Amino acid sequence: MIELFIEEDQYRRIAIKESGVLSECYFEDKNQEVRSGDIFLGIIRKKVKALHSVFIDIGLKKNAFLYVTDNNNFQDYKEGQSILVEVIKEEEGSKGTKVTDKISLGGRFVVFFQGKGIGYSKRLDREKFLEKQGNQNTKEGFRILFRSAAMDADREELEKEIDEIHTAFTDILKKAETGMGPKRLYGESSILDRILRDRFSEINMIYVDTRETADRLKSEYGLPSLVHGTGRSLFDFYGIEQELLKLRHRKVHLKDGGNLVIEVTEAMVVIDINSAKYTGMKNKEDMALAMNLSAVEEIARQIRLRNLSGIILVDFIDMSSEINRKKLQEAMQEKLQEDPLFSRCYPLTELNLMQMTRKKKGYPVYHFIEEECGSCDHKGKRLSYEYLRKLIKNELMKKVDNIEILDYLVVIGSPYEERVRKDISGFLNEIGAEGKRIYLEFTESGDDFRIEPLVFRNQIQEKEKYLITE
């Protein structure tokens, strides 16, 4: 059973549960200037051969960059010429937007590329597909890839999407030939639209927190949804918020006693597998295989859940048997095929390291729930101030739901004190303090916050000095 949760706030937050287990989570800036999948007609401004990069003006503050792997083709890019590119990675930090000149356009059932012929997703049984849907016609100048969802599509619906994407792609190429850049020629749908497109036939239930979202899902996709109506946020009510907080931990415990340690660096993501207290087989080789195989499913889940991307390096427990190493490779490959953003998985090295790559779509979860810790030379992370206020509001709503109390002590870590005091009124409004008396205390302890209901008179008198009066 697949459940989809959509929460509209400063960011749109999207979560997917499979059989009750959280498997994916995305944060989406609804006002984002450019998204992965957008297609631009740009102008080449600069070439730097040493970096294998071509810098392209697509109308943003920073030039986008195109990485050219083939040095022989580098000379074909001329400064000042127009070029059609697709965004594959949004701007991040000091790095500009990454683009490719290998354009594609996709829908729920098919993806179009420039080229010729027909292809099939690895998750699609070609023979069964052809038996059900029949032979498909090609489109001149394009290669058509059929996605796994095409198997269950109505024939008329499938043909309609092919015609629509063919028309849109042809229109983009025509505009690129006759127009002047820089300008956007095609805007990719949001992350939410991509999920609905990719998993349309799999979704069993949708939960939303606004009537507007429910109406849109109904009108655009014909999908019914349940509108959440309590004071607590949708993610908190269904236990997703607590799952997100766990993602701040580097260590992930496995069922059989081992654990994963996930390190996210600027260059790559490194995942280390430790046997820890694993008490399975006595034979070292058998134990290593069992431990590695048990880690595969959780690794795939954590990659999707944390929305990790780029180069991902997994340090498996050492195995000497080539048969076992092949089993592990096949298990990892099979599990990752379920991920629509998965790119490639490479064979184990002699040191039992496995390298894989995953496309970037949006930012990792950390980007939205953490901020740099200014008190530790900007090397550490803490909960972002915006996210902290959301958590305090949820916790306050829980306590209000349970008991009729007006007085609450809110204890917050001292690193947040300056921002809270700078706008006390705004803070109280954000945490839903209307109709309550809030006693605000700051502490040097490592806890981000805690909330205590003040029930007895002596408790209230003891904390009287912390009472907020606007």
What torsion do the CA atoms of 427, 430, 431, 434 make, to the nearest 10 degrees?
A: 90
Q: Tokens for 92, please give them.
A: 């991040």
Q: Examine the pLDDT at 466 and tell me if it is beyond 80.
A: yes
Report yes or no: 248 and 370 within 8 Å, Cβ to Cβ.
yes
CA distances from 224 to 6, 169, 211, 220, 234 (A): 13, 31, 11, 11, 17
Whether residue 189 has pLDDT greater than 70: no
pTM above 0.85, yes or no: no
Residue 153 has pLDDT above 60, yes or no: yes
Spatial separation of the C-alpha atoms in residues 349 and 469, rounded to whole Å: 64
What pLDDT sits at residue 403? 67
Q: How confident is the model at residue 279 (pLDDT cuts 50, 70, 90)?
A: low
pLDDT in tens, 419-447: 999 999 999 999 988 889 999 999 987 66
Q: What's 209's DSSP letter?
A: S
* 26, 13 Cβ separation under 8 angstroms: yes
Separation of alpha carbons 25 and 444, rounded Å: 32
Summarised one tens digit per residue, pLDDT across range 303-332 is 999 989 889 999 999 998 999 999 999 899
Residue range 372-419, pLDDT digits in tens: 876 655 567 889 999 999 999 998 888 776 667 889 999 999 999 999
- Which range of 65-74, 274-283, 385-394 scores highest in mean pLDDT? It is 385-394
In this structure, the dihedral spanned by the alpha carbons of residues 331, 335, 340 and 346, taken in order and rounded to 10 degrees, is: -30
pLDDT at 68 > cutoff 80: yes
First-to-last alpha carbon distance for the chain, in angstroms, is 49
Whether residue 143 has pLDDT greater than 90: yes
Q: Return the number of other C-beta atoms located less than 10 Å from residue 353's C-beta.
A: 13
- Least confident residue range of 22-26, 36-40, 193-197: 193-197
What pLDDT score does 33 carry?
Answer: 73
At residue 344, does pLDDT exceed 80?
A: no
What's the chain's average pLDDT?
88
378-403 in b/e form (b: 16+ CB < 10 A) is eeeebbbeebbbbbbbbbbbeebeee
Higher pLDDT, 211 or 199: 211
Confidence of residue 277 (pLDDT cuts 50, 70, 90): low
Token pair, residue 50, equals 């040493």
Which whole number is the average pLDDT over 81-96? Answer: 86
What is residue 379's predicted lDDT score, i.e. its pLDDT? 60
Half-sphere exposure of 163 (CA within 13 A, CB side): 6
Neighbours of 466 (CB within 10 A): 14
What value does the mean pLDDT take over residues 212-217? 93
User: Is the per-residue pLDDT at 367 higher than 90?
Assistant: no
Q: Residue 197 is encoded by which pair of tokens?
A: 């497109």
